[in-house]
Copies of this chain bind each other. A is one copy, B any other.
Amino acid sequence: MVITEHIPLSTKGHGDIVDITNDVAEAVEKANLENGIATVFVPGSTGALTTIEYEPGMLRDLPELFEKLIPSNRRYHHDDTWGDANGFSHLRSALFGTSFTVPFSGKRLLLGTYQQIVFLDFDNRPRQRELVVQIIGE
């Protein structure tokens, strides 16, 4: 069985870190499958997905890591193509990745106790997003 769900999000951009754990959990409950996997997907090239412990310290550490690995205050070749100055957003998306798959069992996500699924919006402006959740199971 395959069930397709969507998660609409209003983000602030600029490295916004959005906890989507409950959204994914609700999509899985709604799908009404006992066991399987949920693939969360970002249809776009300036966002990404990962898991973190969603606590105030990490919400400061993670953006500092983004800046260190891929600074936002320099010019990228991508910026010359479109003039939208978000080359850094694209590179961060390519590095962190736009697809994330989580298993579930007994309709519950098999996450750790202190582990949340987060959407990272790297774009340089607020965005309306719609993530895909593709649920496969039985």
Chain B nearest CB, measured from A21 CB (Å): 12
Residue of B nearest to A47 (CB): B112
Q: Which residues of B contact A112 (CB under 8 A)?
A: 42-45
Q: Are A102 and B103 in contact (CB under 8 A)?
A: no
Q: Are B99 and A78 in contact (CB under 8 A)?
A: no
A45–B55 CA distance with the chains assembled, in angstroms? 12
Q: Which residues of B contact A70 (CB under 8 A)?
A: 65
Chain B nearest CB, measured from A16 CB (Å): 15
Q: Are A39 and B87 in contact (CB under 8 A)?
A: no
Stretch at the interface among A7-15, A23-31, A130-138: A130-138
A97-B50 contact, Cβ under 8 Å, with A57-B80, A58-B77, A81-B56 = yes
Q: Are A95 and B65 in contact (CB under 8 A)?
A: yes
Q: Are A97 and B94 in contact (CB under 8 A)?
A: no
Which positions in A face B, CB cutoff 8 Å?
1-2, 4, 35-37, 39, 41-45, 50-53, 55-58, 60-62, 64-65, 69-70, 76-82, 87, 90-91, 93-103, 105, 110-112, 114-115, 132, 134, 136-138
- Apart from A37-B136, A62-B91, A65-B70, 6 more pairs, CB < 8 Å: A2-B137, A36-B134, A43-B111, A57-B77, A62-B94, A110-B134
